Structure 1
Amino acid sequence: MKADSIHLFDFLGSGKTIFEIPVFQRNYEWDKAQCEQLFKDLTIAAQNDTDHFIGAIVYVTETGNKMSHIYRIIDGQQRLTSLTLLLKALSDADKQDHAEIEEEYLTNKYLDDNNHLKLKPVEHDYEAFESVMNEMADYDQPSKVIDNYRLFQKLISNSDIDSSKLYEAMNHFNMVYIELSSDPNEENPQVIFESLNSTGVSLSSSDLVRNFLLMKLDSQEQSDLYKKYWVKIERMFATKTFAEFIRHYLVVKTHVSVKRNNVYGSYKDYFITEKLNSENALADLFKFANYYDQILNHKTEDSEFNRVLDHINVMDSKVVFPYLMLLMDLITSGEIDQGQANSLAHILESYLFRLKACQLPTNGLNKIVVGLCDLSKVNGNLKLRLLRLLKANFPDDRKLSDSLMEVDLYHQRNHLAKLALVILEEHRTKETIDFNDAQVEHIMPQRLNAEWRLQVTNADKVKEQFGGTLGNLTLTKYNQEMSNKPYDEKREYYQDSNVFLTREVAKTYDHWGKDTITDRTRKLTDELIKIFPMPDIKEVSEEEITGEYTIDQTVDVTGKKPVQITISGDDYSVKTWRQMLVVFLNDIWNKDSLNFDRIKENRQIDRMLFRVNRNPEKLENGTEIETNFSATVILAIIAKVSEICDITDQVSYTVR
């Protein structure tokens, strides 16, 4: 590695030099404010005739054709591109300096057309950059390259300082270059890149994964794999969705919950542990990205599976996407057929609908999905594994019925109300309904007028108590037209509705009020109980129920013995509940002593654990704790401590 300070023109003026921005780097993204600041720095340098430090450029050297030097930019490509655009704008503004700027700093006179320009941007920016450098005015696509070049032209034109003096001042720009060798036995560019990224503007986790997979390859292989896999994956997702995909992909592959701020680190660990190479890793990412895209857009080859995917998306339950990707991969590999996948997906769909309709917390789903993705614990029966993990918190028919009869589904679960109505309609027509096209109509309107108050006894009270329940809701495409009309007028309109569910209201009820709302809610609830059935949990015998549970699941462990506790991916064998408590607290202490201090600040935990009087056990840090508790209480203590330490989704245990 070589490093030194250098003036900008000495760096750019090197003969037969190509500054190549590798395909794995981000597109050019500098905004207006950053460009204006760069020009302001140039103005100050021109006025004061002083040097100005512009940062560092890190690159790997290679030898190209005709003894040219290729600098593959590892860090600083955004700044280098902006400086080049500024130089081009100065060149165009000052005919006297035009030839010198072009020949010395922007082009390679003696290299072929492909390497004629000194800076070679990523493919996304190349055409726009080439149009600027070659003064082609017909480029009309949105581009930061074009925008910032024109901004520099405007700033130069409006400046009180002559363009020639601004050009001279650019030689006051001082920088540090860090030259890395391409020899694999010397410094690792990836490690240096990660170090630089940790102190600058952070790249997204997907950027870091891309760089990790491509940076170690030669230029041609980088380009080939980027075009074959990465660019196709990138086109499927927005940046945020891309990072979420990689996180869910890792759940499938590692069977461990991955935190959003550790996606890149987890992927790198997975890559190294599995001894992957870049091409195999990219091919697998591409395969699962296609699964993910089909899940997001519910566009698989099976219409029944697509309906379930659509419903899960509406319920905003992306947490189960890893399991859905796993099912699709098992279909692809021939380990299960589409019918089996549909059956499992329907169970999951029923579980999610019931949880949300009953307003039950879903934060334990993450750990459940992690368990579902671990095929080593399936023992050949995916359905049994699914039922085993869902059983403890699966709302039964009574709980679902009670909730739907009372809950203001519209205001508290707006999407769920609309989804329930769409599904009820689909079961009547046997046709798929466009969820986005449908609107929820309140039969008794949200704003009552005098006519409604005359027609319905205690109308305001009825609306307050039952207005948002399922029985008072239906679907329409034109709810603004009839929203506040009295029921008899609405009924006439409903009779001609293109929505079966709405026509049914007009046919069944000749008036509208508390009793009719309650009656319809009961009927629709009974239908939903059948549409989202409770699976036959009796299939899961007591012997079979033994297995892994998340710490926030409600499980009757009477007569059971623990055999293992898993904490943040680490497995510990245990033989008793008391030992499990000790092992858990030792892990908390070893991984983060500050968390241990937080536990002691909780009065209830402090009173139960640290005021020893009956059966003390000593932890590894010398602290004595009370352990004379039942299995149920020990699980409650571990659950509470997990909540305090924010690791609830990372703790599970296995019983037999």
Structure 2
Amino acid sequence: MASTNFNTENRTYRQLLGNGLTYCIPRFQRDYSWAEEEWEDLWADIQSTLPADGEPAHYMGYLVLQTADNRVYEVIDGQQRLTTISLIVLAAMRLLSKPAAEGRVAEENRRRLDQLRATYIGYLDPVTLTTRNKLSLNRNNDSYYRDYLVALADHLPQRGFPASTHAMRKGFEWFERRLREQIKGASDPGMALAQFVETISDKLFFTVITVADQLNAYKVFETLNARGVRLSATDLLKNYLFSVLARGQEALREMDELERRWEVIVDRLGSESFPDFLRMHWNSRHNFARQTELFKVVRNRIQAREAVFALLREMDEDIDTYLALTQPEGAQWPPAWKQSAQELRMFSVRQPYPMLMAAKRSLADADFVSLLRATVIIAFRYNVIGAQHTGEQERVYHTAAMQLYSGQAYNFAQVLTTLRQVYPSDEAFKADFAEKVIKTTQSRNAKIVRYILCKLEKQAGGIDFDADSSSYTIEHVLPQSPQAGWDAFNDRDLETFVYRLANMAMLESGKNKELSNKPYAEKRPVLQQSSLYLTKKLAEENADWQPERLAARQKQLAHLASTVWRIAQIA
């Protein structure tokens, strides 16, 4: 970030608005969306700063601005907060305008009103001699904000406006009611209102990050997101695409069409999922791009209006596949396809997605489902059991995606030739499995263990049961909290032994409750009575349970697992 052209400083609301600068929400930025929950939170925070012994200030978070001339600033992130504070100031001004109009200390209140407007709302342009707002909103909200709220209209119309405009009006009226209660009983309501605005303008402050262009803004977004501050890179990319269309003769019509299609895509994905989808989509068709460089790559390639609409068409083509992979329950896929997608998600393995998106576009269904199943097997061998580094795996999957996209590969067998590089051999897989430890105190890991034991049970005993069924639980033969009778296991290595796969078996729920932390001699008869083949076999073949017996069983399970998770065309 050292070479990035940006400035960072803390500024109060007064320092932001109390000068000749102007702020605008980009035309196609998202609409105003705050509601009573957010208003309540902000109002409570403001109240905490008002008493003489109250909080000295309230931090409003990051504000990301973009400017080319240090006079006009586009609000890249922070528009909801800026707009809401403006509504509070305007609500105070409308209340202040009423005693002024009614003649109660009229001159003083008119001067206060003029000063507040000049400081926080708008100013007189010295060239045109017309009032210019310091804050202008997006295309859906600005006209109402300018014509009714800034004008302090006595009547605020409610018909014929989008939902976001109604939210903005309701926020204005909500704060007006709170302010009316705030000044009730004040000897000089006008002075109390002016003092309220002055106080919050000095006590609400932001960390302001100012960037010179959209690429720097994207880099800021990536850095802040990595630190847990969620900003909308989705909106940033959207604004860039609109800026491309703004250069053409059909700008308004094309931007309206882009807005319509963009909102459909984002609504289906959710704004937080969009950057991930875009990267998977992009890597299924283009040179490999990491998330941190994606905006730059897209910007360099999408520079003409034709390219903008080509990107939209291609995203439309891929969105169903992406959603089916990430949210398989709602997909219109056959059950076997959905099952494989669910397993990939359970493994938290996403590296194959670009390849699978490319495959869904180009392969016959029979080949696609074979590839999807093969991907699950590779993920289990390479990621779940092998825990190997994903960098090489991601490169191989991208190579396969490019072969599918270019037409170099057009069936399952050809893609599989490329994937051999990330398919661990039986020997390597069995060696990894024989030593595998999975700590079931984490819910995701417990789910994976149930999945493994269920698959092994089906292979060994032919019993196919639902791994998620509450009728079965994981029994740790060596208990997680052992008491008497487990002297064979060294305390130093206890946790490793407890979470070895061989130490775990599926058992009927009622029987599991009986066993608790009992010694093996008391557990064995209960295990022998289980209807599950592998659980019963464990008890029958082991008169006692010691480290060497556990290791021997895990080798047996490893051999069995190599037959369950196997790609026949490679083995």
- Which TM-score bucket, shorter chain as reference? 0.5 to 0.7
Contact 2:381 2:424 in 1 (8 A): yes
Q: Look up the SS of the partner of 1:258 in the other structure.
A: coil
Distance in 2 separating the partners of 1:270 and 1:391: 32
Unaligned 5+ residue runs, structure 2?
Answer: 1-15, 53-62, 103-109, 114-146, 202-210, 225-230
Aligned to 2:290: 259
Q: Which residue of 2 aligns with 1:366?
A: 394
- Corresponding position of 1:442: 476
1:298 aligns with 2:332: no
Cα distance in 2 for partners of 1:284, 1:298 equals 21
Assess if the C-alpha contact under 8 Å between 1:407 and 1:469 holds in 2.
yes
Equivalent position to 1:128, from 167, 172, 187: 167
Q: Structure 2 vs 1, CA of residues 131 and 193 (structure 1 numbering), >3 Å: closer, same or farther?
A: farther
Give unmatched runs, 5+ long, in structure 1. 1-5, 13-18, 44-53, 60-71, 136-145, 175-190, 331-335, 539-656
| CA spacing shift, 1:55–1:163, aligned 2, 3 Å | farther
Q: Secondary structure at the match of 1:25?
A: coil
Q: Cα deviations across residues 418-464 of structure 1 (Å, max 9, x unaligned)?
A: 442243356544455339997543111133221333xxx55758856
* Residue pair 1:445, 1:483 contacting (<8 A) in 2 also: yes
Structure 2 equivalent of residue 325 of structure 1? 357
Q: How far off its partner does 1:522 sit? A: 3.1
Change (3 A) 1:321 1:359: same
Summarize the Cα distance change of 1:110–1:486 in structure 2 as closer, same or farther, 3 Å threshold: closer
Cα distance in structure 1, aligned partners of 2:155 and 2:181: 32
Give the secondary structure class of the aligned counterpart of 1:364. helix
- Partners of 1:223 and 1:426 lie apart in 2 by 55
2:523 aligns with 490
In the alignment, residue 266 of structure 1 is paired with which amino acid? Answer: V
Taking the TM superposition and a 5 Å limit, the aligned residue runs for 1:101-500 are: 105-106=150-151, 125-133=164-172, 135=173, 162-164=189-191, 166-167=193-194, 194=214, 197=217, 203-214=231-242, 216=245, 222=255, 225-237=258-270, 239=272, 241-254=273-286, 256-272=287-303, 275-278=306-309, 280-299=310-329, 300=331, 301-330=333-362, 336-356=363-383, 357-375=385-403, 379-410=408-439, 414=445, 417-425=449-457, 428-434=462-468, 440-453=474-487, 457=488, 466-475=497-506, 482-491=515-524, 493-494=526-527
Equivalent pair of 1:355/1:395 in contact (CA under 8 Å): yes
- Distance in 1, Cα, partners of 2:466 & 2:492: 36
Using the TM superposition, give the Cα deviation of residue 512 of structure 1 relative to its aligned residue in structure 2, in angstroms: 3.4
- Following TM superposition, by how much is the alpha carbon of 1:150 offset from its aligned partner in structure 2, in angstroms? 7.6
Alpha-carbon spacing, 1:77–1:307, altered in 2? closer, same or farther (3 Å):
closer
Residue 363 of structure 1: how far off its partner (Å): 2.0
Mapping 1:565-644, distance limit 5 Å: none
1:453-510 deviations in Å (ceiling 9; x for gaps): 3xxx557588567443222112356867633123354345546768675456456656
Hey, what's the Cα distance between the residues in 1 that align with 2:257 and 2:410? Answer: 41
- Cα drift, residue 163 of structure 1: 4.3
Q: Decide whether aligned partners of structure 1 residues 431 and 86 sit closer, same or farther in structure 2, where only a CA change above 3 A counts.
A: farther
Give 1:296 deviation, angstroms.
1.3
- Distance verdict in 2 for CA 1:197–1:515, change over 3 Å: closer
Cα 1:470/1:169, change in 2 over 3 Å: closer
CA distance 1:111–1:85, change in 2 (3 Å): closer
d(CA) in 1 for partners of 2:401, 2:171: 51
Is the alpha carbon distance of 1:55 and 1:213 closer, same or farther for their aligned partners in structure 2, counting shifts above 3 Å?
closer
SS of structure 1 residue aligned to 2:517: coil
Distance in 1, Cα, partners of 2:66 & 2:83: 8
Q: RMSD of the TM alignment (CA)?
A: 5.3
How many Å separate the matches in 2 of 1:55 and 1:467?
Answer: 50
- Structure 1 pair 495–269 and aligned structure 2 pair: CA distance change class (3 A): farther
Q: Distance in 2 between matches of 1:489 and 1:282?
A: 65
Structure 2 CA distance for partners of 1:392 and 1:172, relative to 1, 3 Å = closer
TM-score, normalisation: structure 1: 0.56
Offset at 1:231?
Answer: 4.4
Question: Which has the larger displacement, 195-204 or 478-487?
Answer: 195-204
* Equivalent residues of 2:380, 2:565 under 8 A apart: yes
C-alpha deviation, 1:260, in angstroms? 2.0
Seen in structure 2, the aligned counterparts of structure 1 residues 153 and 370 have a Cα distance that, compared at 3 Å, is farther
Question: 2:489 touches 2:547 (CA, 8 Å); kept in 1?
Answer: no
Using the size of structure 2 for normalisation, the TM-score is: 0.63
- Structure 1 position 523, deviation (Å): 3.1
State whether structure 2 residue 24 is matched by structure 1 residue 24.
no
What amino acid does structure 2 have at the position aligned with 1:87? L
Structure 1 distance, partners of 2:317, 2:311, is 10
Partner of 2:370, secondary structure, is helix
Q: Deviations over 1:86-137 (max 9, x none)?
A: 312453577425899896724668998668xxxx8xx66433223344x4xx
Counterpart amino acid of residue 126 in structure 1: T
Q: Return closer, same or farther for 1:329/1:164 CA change in 2, 3 Å cut-off.
A: farther
- Paired residue secondary structure (2:391): coil
| Count of residues in correspondence between the two structures | 461
Contact 1:87 1:167 in 2 (8 A): no
Per the TM alignment, residue 251 of structure 1 is displaced from its structure 2 partner at its CA by 0.6
Percent of counterpart pairs with the same letter? 17
Tell me the distance in 2 between the aligned counterparts of 1:443 and 1:521: 13
Distance 2:242 2:196 in 1: 37
Q: 1:94 and 1:339, CA in 2 relative to 1: closer, same or farther beyond 3 A?
A: same
Alpha carbons of 1:493 and 1:399: their partners in 2 closer, same or farther (altered >3 Å)? Answer: same
Q: Is the 8 A contact 1:234 1:242 kept in 2?
A: no
Q: Retained in 1: the 8 A contact 2:337–2:372?
A: yes
Following superposition, the deviation at residue 238 of structure 1 comes to 5.6
Counterpart secondary structure, 1:451: coil
The answer to whether the 8 A contact 1:245-1:292 is kept is: yes
Report SS of the residue matched to 2:390: coil
CA contact (8 A) 1:252 1:322 kept: yes
Q: Is the 8 A contact 2:524 2:539 kept in 1?
A: yes
Q: Indicate how the Cα distance of structure 1 residues 438 and 365 shifts in structure 2: closer, same or farther if over 3 A, else same.
A: farther
Of 87-96 and 361-370, deviating more is 87-96
Secondary structure at 2:485's aligned position in 1? helix
**Any conservation in 2 of the 1:252–1:323 contact (CA below 8 Å)?**
yes
SS of match in other structure, 2:328: coil
Q: Deviations over 1:598-633 (max 9, x none)?
A: xxxxxxxxxxxxxxxxxxxxxxxxxxxxxxxxxxxx
User: CA 1:229 to 1:359, structure 2 compared with 1: closer, same or farther past 3 Å?
Assistant: closer
Contact 1:251 1:258 in 2 (8 A): yes
Deviation at 1:295, TM superposition (A): 0.7
Please report how far the alpha carbon of residue 167 of structure 1 lies from its aligned counterpart in structure 2 after TM superposition.
Answer: 4.5
Distance 1:262 1:87 in 2: 41
